Amino acid sequence: MGVGRFVYTPILPLMHTRAGLSAGAGANLATANYVGYLAGALAGIMAPALIRSRTVLRGSLLLLTATLAAMPLTHSVVVWGGLRLLAGAASALVFVVAAGSLLHHLREHPPHLSGWAFGGVGGGIALSGLLVLALRSAGDWRAAWWASAALAALLTAGSWNLRPEAAPASTPPGTTEKPRTHRWFGALFVSYTLEGVGYIVAGTFLVAAIGQGSPGWIGGGAWVLVGLAAVPSSALWARLGRRWSRPGLLLTALVVQAAGIALPALGGGTAAALVSAVLFGATFLGVSTLALATGAHLRFPRSVALLTAGYSVGQILGPLVVAPLIRHGYHGALLLAALLVLAAAAAAAVLRIGFPHHMVVVRHTKPERRRESSEGADALAPHSAN
Write the pLDDT tens digit of every residue in 258-306: 999 999 888 777 888 889 999 999 999 889 888 877 887 787 766 766 7
**Enclosing domain of residue 255:** 2-164+180-355+370-385
Torsion sign, CA atoms 205, 206, 208, 213:
positive
Query: Is the pLDDT higher at 72 or at 309?
Result: 72
Is residue 374's pLDDT more than 70? no
Q: In whole angstroms, give the CA distance from residue 331 to residue 23.
A: 13
pLDDT of residue 385: 34
Note whether residue 364 is domain-resident. no
DSSP classification of residue 109:
S
Percent of the chain at pLDDT > 70 equals 84
Q: What value does the mean pLDDT take over residues 179-192? A: 83
Note whether residue 169 is domain-resident. no
pTM (whole model) above 0.85: no
Note whether residue 379 is domain-resident. yes
Confidence tier at 203 by pLDDT (50, 70, 90) = confident
Is residue 314's pLDDT more than 80? yes
DSSP classification of residue 7:
T
Confidence tier at 36 by pLDDT (50, 70, 90) = very high
> In 10 A of CB 378, how many CB atoms?
21
Q: Name residue 143's amino acid.
A: A
Q: What value does the mean pLDDT take over residues 132-143? A: 81
Note whether residue 57 is domain-resident. yes
Q: Are 261 and 358 in contact (CB under 8 A)?
A: no
Query: Distances in Å between the alpha carbon of 253 and those of 240, 241, 348?
Result: 11, 12, 10
Q: Name residue 378's amino acid.
A: D
Q: What is the pLDDT of residues 3-27, one digit of tens each?
A: 998 899 889 888 988 888 988 888 8
Q: What is the CATH number of the domain that holds 321?
A: 1.20.1250.20
Note whether residue 360 is domain-resident. no
What are the DSSP E strand ranges found in the chain?
A: none
Note whether residue 31 is domain-resident. yes
Note whether residue 319 is domain-resident. yes
Q: What value does the mean pLDDT take over residues 73-83? A: 95
pLDDT of residue 336: 94
Domains in the chain: how many in total? 1
Q: ∠134-31-147 over CA atoms, to 5°?
A: 20
pLDDT of residue 324: 82
Highest mean pLDDT among 47-61, 92-106, 339-353: 339-353
pLDDT of residue 367: 40
Q: Name residue 298's amino acid.
A: L
Is residue 368's pLDDT more than 80? no
Is residue 363's pLDDT more than 50? no
Is residue 169's pLDDT more than 60? no
pLDDT of residue 168: 56
Query: Is the pLDDT higher at 366 or at 156?
Result: 156
Note whether residue 361 is domain-resident. no
Angle between helices 182-213 and 246-266 (to 10 degrees): 20
